[in-house]
Structure 1
C-alpha cells in the first residue's frame, strides 16, 4: 500500500489545484496541503486540508478534512466534508487520491444543494444567496490562509 500511496502522492502533486502536498509527520497515509478554490466566495483564500488513508486503502476510502474554518453548507464546524465520492457505498478501489482532491476542490468551487452538512447555511444560501455569499467571503478573508504566489514557469 505504501508504494501505491507514494505514486498517488506524486500524481496529486502534479495536479495544480493543491499546493504544499506532503505526508504529515512522515506518514504516507496522512497527507496535508492547501486547496486553492477558483470561484467566489472561497477564492479569496487558501484552505488547509488533511487526507487520511486507512490501512485498508484502496479497499476503503480516504477521509478528507478541511483544517481551515470555512462557512460552507457541505462542511461541518469540525471540517468534516460531505463528499459522496468517499462514502463507503460509492467508493471503488480504482478511485485515485487525486480524484478525491479534485472532488474536494469542486465542492468548494460549486455550491451544491445536494451536499449538505449544515442545513442552516444551505437554507440561507437558497433563501438569501447574496447575503450568504457576502458572509462566506468575509469569513474566508478572516480565516483562510493567504493564497500562495503562482509557481514560476
Structure 2
C-alpha cells in the first residue's frame, strides 16, 4: 500500500493544479499542499488541503479537508468537502489521489448546486450572484494563502 501511495504522491507533485504537495509529519498516509483554483473568485489565492489515507487504502476512501477558510457552498466551515467521489458508497479502489484533488479543484472552479454543505451560500449564489462573488473575493483576499510562483518563474 505505501508503494502505491508514494507513486501517487509523485503523480500529484507533477500536476499543475497544486503546489508544495508533501508528506505531513513524514507520514506517507498524510499529505498537505496548496490547491490553485483557476477561476474567480478563488483564483486570487491558494488553498491548503490535507489528504489522509485510510490504513485500508485503496479499499477505503481517503479523507480530504480544506485547511484554508473558503466562502464556498460545497465546503463547510470546518473544511469538510462535499465530494461524493470519496464517499463509502461511491468509492472505487481504482480511484487515484490525483482524481480526488482534480475533483476538488473542479468543485472550487465551478460550484455545483448538487454538492452543497452550506445551503445559505448556495442560495446566495443562485439568487444574488454578484453579492456572492464579492463576498467570496473578499474572503479569499483575507484568508487564502499567496499563490506560489509557477515552476520556473521568478
TM-score normalized by the length of structure 1: 0.98
Shift of 1:34: 0.2
Shift of 1:111: 1.0
After superposition, residues 13-52 of structure 1 pair within 5 angstroms as 13-52=13-52
Q: Which residue matches 2:121?
A: 121
Q: Deviations over 1:101-140 (max 9, x none)?
A: 1001111101110000000101111110110011001100
Shift of 1:63: 0.7
After superposition, residues 3-152 of structure 1 pair within 5 angstroms as 3-152=3-152
Provide the aligned C-alpha RMSD in A.
0.8
Q: 2: CA distance between counterparts of 1:48 and 1:148?
A: 12
Q: 2: CA distance between counterparts of 1:49 and 1:137?
A: 19
Aligned residues: 153
Shift of 1:146: 0.6
Q: 2: CA distance between counterparts of 1:132 and 1:14?
A: 33
Q: Which residue matches 2:2?
A: 2
3-state SS of 1:42 partner: coil
Consecutive aligned runs of 4 or more in structure 1 exceeding 2 Å deviation: none
Q: 2: CA distance between counterparts of 1:3 and 1:150?
A: 28
Q: Which runs of 5+ in 2 are unaligned?
A: none
Q: 2: CA distance between counterparts of 1:127 and 1:55?
A: 43
Q: 2: CA distance between counterparts of 1:107 and 1:127?
A: 19
Q: Deviations over 1:62-111 (max 9, x none)?
A: 11100000000000000000011111111100000000010011111011
Q: 1: CA distance between counterparts of 2:68 and 2:98?
A: 20
Q: 1: CA distance between counterparts of 2:146 and 2:46?
A: 6
